[in-house]
């Protein structure tokens, strides 16, 4: 099969023919139909999180099940499925506490990638998935069955961007009706945080970004106000829109320590900062601890929107089918695998919300 392989950080991916081993116990082979490009893929391929090369990135995908290994339950050949990086054992303390999205149990596939090059070298499945490829083999816990009529390119967005942004609002922070919300960073994840805030009837919903086109998009996804910090003092704008208090919740969807620090400055007393974006390894933020304690403020981390796949995905599909969740509108461009570097460059340059690789 063909895949886009990273052999050197910060360099274009190479289209190569790779071998994909059959699924082993508990694993499933999926023929992909669509894979969206996430900023996490770009951070990884730019060397932000290290790792061994060669590697295939891509983790926001959808396709058809074509083979199952021994012990696979509830998933059959022919099923339409989402492919996600969320993998869970079901029996560790995190899984038993209802937090499968932070399961850290090692799986056999971790030390034995199912991918090899034509020369026989192991190729790492980046972000547990390796979906910039025509097919993947992943653990059954990483899949969710979806309706056959759901367009694959729209469905793929549910695998990461939608659940990460919307889930941060609904699952991680449990934003109540009428709370004031600020979203910093209006790419794919940030726009879905805006969508989540709109679904719970937050007010106001204020979007911050440095790119005016993204702020325009935020209004279409449910923002009531927008602020470009290049044109206005963000803190003054937020205070004027929140009766001088600051925001009850600030969601930082940009993987930038500076953005995290800015978010703290925008909080109301007793407000909550939710860190959604993932910065490169080693980056830190400066916090005035006394202000946090004195104001009763909170900082929450949100991994993958605290998503429980088999509970949350059907709800999101129902919202989409009812016209209450925008998915198609998130897609800027559709590209064949051979044009993946162009698609990536557009996302890196903030010229796209989500570009999607389409497989025949």
C-alpha span between 56 and 52 (Å, rounded):
11
Q: Are residues 173 and 88 in the same domain?
A: no
Q: Is there a domain that residue 56 lies in?
A: yes
pLDDT tens sequence across 256-315 = 999 999 999 999 999 999 999 999 999 999 888 888 999 999 999 999 999 999 999 999
Q: Is there a domain that residue 310 lies in?
A: no
Q: Are residues 106 and 10 in the same domain?
A: yes
Q: Are residues 296 and 255 in the same domain?
A: yes
Q: Is there a domain that residue 249 lies in?
A: yes
Q: Are residues 84 and 200 in the same domain?
A: no
Q: Are residues 269 and 216 in the same domain?
A: yes
Q: Are residues 73 and 141 in the same domain?
A: yes
Q: Are residues 237 and 122 in the same domain?
A: no
Which of the listed residues 258, 288, 303 is the one where a domain comes to its end?
303
pLDDT band at residue 319 under the 50/70/90 scheme: very high
Return the pLDDT at 27. 98
Pick from 86, 61, 65: nearest CA to 155:
61
pTM: 0.96
Across 173-188, average pLDDT: 97
* CATH (domain of 256): 3.40.50.720
Return the pLDDT at 215. 97
Return the pLDDT at 289. 87
Q: Is there a domain that residue 141 lies in?
A: yes
Contacts 24+ apart (CB under 8 A), 89-96: 89/141, 90/141
Q: Are residues 282 and 187 in the same domain?
A: yes
DSSP state of 7: S
Return the pLDDT at 83. 98
Count up the domains in the chain and report the number: 2
> What percentage of the chain carries pLDDT values higher than 70?
100
Averaged pLDDT score across all residues of the chain: 96
DSSP state of 266: T
Q: Is there a domain that residue 321 lies in?
A: no
Pick from 163, 212, 214: nearest CA to 192:
163
Extended beta strands in 98-243, E state: 115-117, 122-125, 135-139, 143-145, 181-184, 205-208, 225-227
Return the pLDDT at 232. 84
Across 111-125, average pLDDT: 95
Across 204-211, average pLDDT: 97
Across 62-68, average pLDDT: 98
Q: Are residues 259 and 334 in the same domain?
A: no
Q: Is there a domain that residue 206 lies in?
A: yes
* CATH (domain of 15): 3.90.180.10
| Host domain of residue 298 | 164-303
Return the pLDDT at 111. 87
Q: Is there a domain that residue 207 lies in?
A: yes
DSSP state of 77: T
C-alpha span between 113 and 134 (Å, rounded):
16
Q: Are residues 281 and 187 in the same domain?
A: yes
Backbone torsions φ then ψ of 2, nearest 5 degrees: -95, 145
Q: Are residues 146 and 24 in the same domain?
A: yes
pLDDT tens sequence across 82-115 = 999 999 999 999 999 999 999 999 999 998 999 9
Q: Is the pLDDT of residue 13 over 90?
A: yes
Q: Are residues 121 and 179 in the same domain?
A: no
Residues ≥6 apart with Cβ < 8 Å to 325: 162, 195, 199, 316, 319
Return the pLDDT at 145. 98
Return the pLDDT at 325. 98
Q: Is there a domain that residue 86 lies in?
A: yes
Return the pLDDT at 288. 87
Residues ≥6 apart with Cβ < 8 Å to 335: 342, 343, 355, 356, 357, 358
């Amino acid at each position: 099969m063909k895949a886009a392989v990273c052999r050197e950080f910060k360099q274009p991916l190479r289209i190569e023919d790779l071998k994909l081993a059959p699924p082993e116990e508990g694993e499933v082979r999926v023929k992909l139909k669509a894979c969206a490009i996430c900023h996490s893929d770009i951070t990884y391929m730019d060397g932000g999180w290290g790792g061994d090369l060669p590697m295939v990135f891509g983790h926001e995908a959808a396709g058809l099940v074509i083979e199952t290994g021994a012990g696979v339950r509830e998933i059959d050949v022919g099923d339409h499925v989402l492919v996600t990086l969320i993998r869970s054992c079901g029996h560790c303390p995190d899984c038993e506490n209802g937090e499968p999205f932070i399961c850290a149990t090692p799986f056999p596939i971790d030390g034995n990638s199912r991918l090899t090059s034509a020369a026989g070298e192991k190729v790492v499945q980046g972000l547990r998935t390796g979906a910039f490829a025509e097919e993947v083999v992943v653990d059954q816990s990483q899949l969710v069955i979806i309706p056959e009529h759901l367009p694959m390119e729209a469905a793929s967005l549910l695998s990461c961007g939608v659940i990460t942004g919307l889930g941060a609002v609904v699952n991680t922070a449990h934003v109540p009706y009428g709370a004031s919300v600020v979203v910093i960073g209006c790419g794919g994840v940030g726009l879905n945080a805006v969508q989540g805030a709109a679904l719970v009837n937050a007010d106001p919903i204020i979007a911050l970004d440095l790119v005016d086109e993204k702020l325009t998009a935020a209004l279409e996804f449910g923002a009531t106000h927008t602020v470009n910090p290049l044109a206005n003092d963000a803190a003054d704008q937020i205070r004027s829109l929140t009766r001088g208090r600051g925001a009850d919740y600030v969601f930082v969807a940009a993987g930038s320590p500076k953005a995290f620090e800015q978010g703290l400055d925008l909080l109301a007393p007793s407000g909550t900062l939710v860190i959604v974006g993932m910065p490169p390894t080693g980056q830190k933020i400066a916090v005035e601890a006394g202000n946090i304690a004195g104001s009763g403020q909170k900082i929450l981390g949100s991994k993958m929107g605290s998503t429980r796949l088999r509970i949350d995905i059907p709800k999101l599909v129902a919202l989409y089918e009812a016209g209450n969740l925008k998915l198609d509108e998130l897609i800027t461009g559709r590209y064949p695998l051979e044009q993946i570097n162009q698609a990536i460059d557009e996302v890196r340059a903030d010229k796209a919300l989500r570009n999607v690789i389409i497989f025949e």
